[in-house]
Amino acid sequence: MDPFERRVPIPEKLLAYGFERRGDGYVVTRPIVDGEFLVTVEVGGGVKTTTLECATGEPYVLHLVEAAQGTFVGQVRAEYSALLAEIAARCFSADFGGAAARRLCEEVRKTYGAEPEFLWEKFPEDAVLRRKDTGKWFGALLTVAENKLGRQGGANIAILDVRATEEEIAALSDGVRYFPGYHMNKRHWLTAVLDGSIPHEELMQRIALSYERAK
């Protein structure tokens, strides 16, 4: 699985990690396998990597060949993959479908220092938002077919699950913008559709309340 799929780079985090600005992009080089290889990662219009074998000065590609087996190739592949996963986690944010979802992720990062955590290999587009101090979830960002919510149509849409009171859930659930928590306890979680129909300020108010309830 591509660790950069559906993610967008955060320039200040790239620089903090050690990337250098080069033209319209960013570049960093890191050693792996006790310095036997150097991996260069270029970010800009996508992500490009080059792995150089230090002893020969030649590019190394066996770790990218799925059929290539062996202990040494496996070690190179594992450390290469771990490096890319680290860069994706520390320097990129989730690129969920739609402007509303992307804007929400950006403000949550700035306000709470929380990055989406992708926990499920079976559902690579789904993530949770977790408080750093308590470890509790205050949000879940999911992709779901809208007819599973009870709306007309079968298109996939981004949704946000937040903590809420029973009274709030009953008052807000309208079958269009808000629903009782999808894949959550419907007495304590509320689902908001991230299709632009709910004002951004309103979504952030829901996030703020959910964050407080995740103490």
Residues 76 and 105 in one domain: no
Alpha helices by DSSP H, the chain: 11-17, 71-91, 99-112, 166-172, 200-213
Average pLDDT, the chain: 91
Give the per-residue pLDDT at 21.
Answer: 95
Name the percent of the chain lying above pLDDT 70: 97
Angle value at C-alpha 159, between 45 and 102, nearest 5 degrees: 30
On whether residue 199 sits in a domain, the answer given is yes
Q: Would 1 be classed as within a structural domain?
A: no
Please determine, for residue 51, whether its predicted confidence score (pLDDT) is greater than 90.
Answer: yes
Per-residue pLDDT of 68-88, as tens digits, reads 999 999 999 999 999 999 999
| pLDDT at residue 96, rounded to an integer | 62
Q: Are residues 29 and 59 in the same domain?
A: yes
Whether 79 maps to a domain, the answer reads: yes
pLDDT given for residue 178 in this prediction? 97
* Closest by CA position to 139, among listed 101, 175, 97: 101
Is 107 in the same domain as 206?
Answer: yes
Does one domain contain both 110 and 16? no
Residue 2 lies in a domain: no
| 26 within some domain | yes
Range of the domain at 61: 7-93
Same domain, 206 and 112: yes
Residues 54 and 160 in one domain: no
CA 165 to chain centre: 27
Same domain, 88 and 133: no
Last residue of a domain, one of 75, 93, 111: 93
The domain total for the chain is: 2
- Is residue 81 one of the residues assigned to a domain? yes
Question: Whole-model pTM?
Answer: 0.64
104 and 207 share a domain?
Answer: yes
Residue 75: phi, psi to the nearest 5? Answer: -65, -45
Q: Are residues 44 and 80 in the same domain?
A: yes
Q: Say whether both 34 and 140 belong to one domain.
A: no
Same domain, yes or no: 123 and 109: yes
Tens-digit pLDDT profile for residues 102-145:
788 889 988 998 888 877 777 777 889 999 999 999 999 998 88
For the segment 45-63, the average pLDDT, to the nearest whole number, is 96
Percent share of the chain, pLDDT over 90: 65
pLDDT of residue 97: 61
